[in-house]
Amino acid sequence: MKTQIIIDNIRTPITADDNEILSIARRKLQKNGISFIEGSLHLHKRSIDARKKQNITFVSSVVAQSDADVSMMKSESGIRYQPVSELSVENGKENLDGRPYIVGFGPAGIFCALLLAERGLRPVVIERGAPVDERVCKVESFYKTGILDTETNIQFGAGGAGTFSDGKLVTRIGDPRSEYVLKKLVEFGAPENILWDAKPHIGTDVLREVVSRAHDMITSLGGEIIYNTRAERIGDGHLTINGEMVKCGFVVLCPGHSSRDTYAELIKDGFCVEAKPFSIGVRVEHLQSELDRSMFGNEGLAERLGHAEYQLSYRKGDRGVYTFCMCPGGEVVAATSEEGGVVTNGMSYHARDGKNANAAVAVSVLPEDFNGDPCMAIEFQRKLEREAFVAGGRNYYAPCQSIGNFYDGKDGGFGNKIVPSYMNSKVNAADFNKLLPNFAVSMLKEGFSVFGKKIKGYDSPNVPLTGIETRTSAPVRILRNDKMCAIGHDLVYPCGEGAGYAGGITSAAVDGIRVAEAILSRFRHD
């Protein structure tokens, strides 16, 4: 097995190019007498240290490969070793009694289907929403007409909710399968720099092409993807499609975090489903140019460094308030999937060239806030969304309020310096003090005050807040055992963010791979 040599903490001026960074790593290896395979040296990770505005630097790590045994490599400061990880699955012994079915074609469903298809299992994917091009048309139609398609929207359709997002790939799970995910995304058309950027992103425009190419790869390997079709009454070795019961070898359940009707069916049918923590809040918008200036000291540096982005958090007791899904140069989008509700999310294109930056500022909601009841957790979200719909004017306009008026408890008034981007400014003045629970209101106010001390201008009185943000993650978890099967259901595999086991594109994709590995080690495959 080959060994990876990782050279950490290489600091360079932001004018340094990739070759300069690789040369520094090469010299360090040579100085310490560490041999490596020629041609294997490449960037591993690169981040920006902007803490000192007068001396912003790149902080990089470089990786090389060696044929030497990792246990024989000598320890050196700033150099570490690890085995080269590869996906390797033993062939299972059980025979499949029918083709495998996967419910949902988000990141978990895509990568689970891909790995199963690569091993010859010919999965059938059932996706309630439309393929990418049709999905884009329906979302654009909703923006123009206010007529919502509850089956195809920002939440449902090819690629899942992530298709209409910034396409962030940051994850903290530390799973070696993440590298496989990133490499596959590049193979499907994502930019190569996601392999080494510390905060990789794809952008919704590029991600749509990536999803389409993943579809093509899966079908070329014998898989099948059926769109605009709902799977119901899921059980061991069967599910119902268009009113007809279909026999299957097993079902991988990747429902997405907004599949409330699926959750209700599973609870009714006796699946073990528990309430889990999630978050609620608002979207905050700033001028991207001012954010670049505040964080870099010079907005012109964004051309070299990329637009400034941030991640902020504050905790008090059992609750936290934090920024989530920050979208540089993006827009706030209408993300409801149910009639009579308003939900916000953030989206940006690969260029991130919009005028505003936006981020969710969300407060943790705990199971005890709804007595630990999964049905009440879902209803907690739904009630807030319906109240936001009413506050927005009952036409899918979103409630909006400046930070200054939020602190003062006054409706509306957010000035004209920062124009809210939600559906081309389809917002109405409202008061989040009345819309949000008291615990969320108090935590948001404390959080904005803290965040304003970290980023100049963050809590300026004219900064607009748009809401309501409720779909940060699934409110429930479909329990599974150590074999990855749903408790009490030996042929059903809950998977991904909607099942409660992930929190973003990369971690959901990784969970899809983990479930596929469990399946492949159980059942015979080519």
Q: Report how far residue 451's alpha carbon sits from residue 32's, in angstroms, rounded to the nearest whole number.
A: 44
179 and 136 housed in the same domain: yes
Is residue 8, in this structure, part of any structural domain at all?
yes
pLDDT at 70: 60
Sign of CA dihedral 8, 11, 14, 19: negative
Strands (E), 450-519: 464-469, 476-478, 492-494
CB 391 within 8 A of CB 282: no
Phi, psi of 458 (to 5 degrees): -60, -40
Q: Report how far residue 8's alpha carbon sits from residue 26's, in angstroms, rounded to the nearest whole number.
A: 12
Beta bridge partners of 197: 46
Low-confidence ranges of the chain (pLDDT < 70): 1, 69-75, 412-413
242 and 179 housed in the same domain: yes
CB 125 within 8 A of CB 225: yes
Closest among 458, 389, 491, 503 to 107, alpha carbons compared:
503
Sequence-ordered list of residues with C-beta below 8 angstroms from that of 25, at least 6 positions apart, any chain: 7, 10, 41, 62, 64
Burial class (CB in 10 A: 0-12, 13-18, 19+), 42: middle
Is residue 23, in this structure, part of any structural domain at all?
yes
Closest among 198, 200, 183, 199 to 44, alpha carbons compared:
198
Q: Report how far residue 229's alpha carbon sits from residue 127's, in angstroms, rounded to the nearest whole number.
A: 6
284 and 233 housed in the same domain: no
137 and 179 housed in the same domain: yes
Is residue 526, in this structure, part of any structural domain at all?
no
Within 229-299, residue ranges assigned H as helices are: 260-268, 288-296
pLDDT at 385: 98
* CATH code of the domain containing 488: 3.50.50.60
Peptide bond into 6 cis (omega under 30): no
Neighbours of 309 (CB within 10 A): 23
226 and 292 housed in the same domain: no
Place of tokens 């600091």: 11
13 and 115 housed in the same domain: no
112 and 52 housed in the same domain: no
Is residue 218, in this structure, part of any structural domain at all?
yes
Neighbours of 36 (CB within 10 A): 21
Is residue 443, in this structure, part of any structural domain at all?
yes
pLDDT at 411: 78
Closest among 1, 74, 9, 78 to 35, alpha carbons compared:
74
418 and 365 housed in the same domain: yes
Neighbours of 114 (CB within 10 A): 24
333 and 246 housed in the same domain: no
Within 146-202, residue ranges assigned H as helices are: 177-187
This prediction's pTM: 0.95
Is residue 89, in this structure, part of any structural domain at all?
no
* CATH code of the domain containing 44: 3.30.70
194 and 253 housed in the same domain: yes
Final residue of a structural domain among 17, 48, 83:
83
Q: Give the max Cα distance, the chain.
A: 70
pLDDT at 396: 98
270 and 284 housed in the same domain: no
107 and 172 housed in the same domain: yes
Number of domains in the chain: 3
Buried b (16+ CB within 10 A) or exposed e, 60-86: bbbbbbbebebeebeebeebebeeeee
Sequence-ordered list of residues with C-beta below 8 angstroms from that of 339, at least 6 positions apart, any chain: 148, 150
Buried b (16+ CB within 10 A) or exposed e, 452-468: beebeebbbeebbbbbb
Tokens read off for 74? 């000598």
Tokens read off for 448? 């904005």
pLDDT at 299: 87
Is residue 525, in this structure, part of any structural domain at all?
no
Domain span at residue 38 reads 3-83
Question: What are the tens digits of pLDDT across the range 276-315?
Answer: 999 999 999 999 999 999 999 988 999 899 999 999 999 9
CB 251 within 8 A of CB 241: no
Beta bridge partners of 125: 102, 225
pLDDT at 32: 86
Is residue 92, in this structure, part of any structural domain at all?
no
Phi, psi of 25 (to 5 degrees): -65, -40
